[in-house]
Amino acid sequence: MRADISFKTTDGLTLKGWLFTPQNGADSHPAIVMAHGFTAVKEQYLDRYAETFARQGFAVLVYDNRNFGASEGLPRQEADPLLQVRDYRDAITYVSSLENIDASRIGIWGSSYSGGHVLQVAAFDRRVKCVSAQVPAISGSADVRMAVRPDLMPGLVEAFEADRAARYAGDHPLLMEVVNEDPKSDCALPGQDSYDYFIDSHHSVAPAWRNEVTLKSIELLNEYEPAYAIDRISPTPLQIIVAQKDTVTVPDLALKAYERALQPKHLVLLDCGHFDPYLSEFEASSSAAVEWFKRHL
């Protein structure tokens, strides 16, 4: 069963999403908290994962990140990773307060940008008893360097500085496209696979998604290193799902981060690209997460 929910963050925003409740008759359920990746909204296939987890006996809290989708927050379309990490922790507090939730059995799931967030959350929040990070962001600076040609980086840094000055003066944040079909365009996520995923899902299931993001979001991404404390996640069980043909989050960085993680840990390798776990490889990606959560929650 799916119900619309909302909860407050510690800085006063209302984040909106869904609570999926299993129909197994139990009085108390383990819970999984999940949010989407860079600029994405919950309708972009997170309901498929939540429904699968709920059928296996888990309550699942799915919500839109601040500044995106149905959730509050300004500037709109700004992805601040550190604030999103804090929101995960507020979501854990909220779901733990519900009467039918076993607060001693809380898991977190994240994918892409939020796959990096859950590494951060699990490293420091011991309320988390199990974590699954799918195609996770490991190093924001590495991802930016992969997306932006070296000769264009000085111009991008100049744009960051100009945007900061303009915002300080009271101007509106500078926006850029998330995806564009032209491989030479100055968009946040270049590449045909990114364009196909976002545009196709926008037309089919996620009309609330917007093809724009603040330039500051790219600056914040460039400063974000979510896996620096991956060795602190232990003894919380950690699963990392890596897409070996990923061109958005660098797979070799995920494999190196996995090597730094301590036990218990579990690596899943999928022979696909970054967005395939939501679609053609959904059965493989969701089954791996289900098995991990069932084992440890």
Residue 155 lies in a domain: no
Residue 232 lies in a domain: yes
- Whole-number pLDDT of residue 216: 98
Residue 240 lies in a domain: yes
Could you tell me the CATH number of the domain that includes residue 77? 3.40.50.1820
Residue 153 lies in a domain: no
Where does residue 183 rank: exposed (0-12), middle (13-18), buried (19+ CB within 10 A)?
Answer: exposed
Residue 181 lies in a domain: no
Contact 17, 42 (CB under 8 A): yes
Where does residue 34 rank: exposed (0-12), middle (13-18), buried (19+ CB within 10 A)?
Answer: buried
Residue 104 lies in a domain: yes
What is the tally of structural domains in the chain?
1
**Which residues of the chain fall below pLDDT 50?**
none
Residue 72 lies in a domain: yes
Range of the domain at 86: 2-140+224-296
Of 139, 142, 114, which Cα lies nearest the Cα of 42?
A: 114
Omega cis (within 30) before 75: yes
The CA–CA distances, whole Å, from 57 to 26, 96, 127, 206, 237 equal: 9, 16, 19, 27, 19
For residue range 95-142, list pLDDT tens digits in order.
999 999 999 999 999 999 999 999 999 999 999 999 999 999 999 999
The CA–CA distances, whole Å, from 138 to 189, 193, 253 equal: 16, 20, 6
- Whole-number pLDDT of residue 183: 82
Residue 22 lies in a domain: yes
Q: What's the pTM value of the predicted model, to 2 decimals? A: 0.97
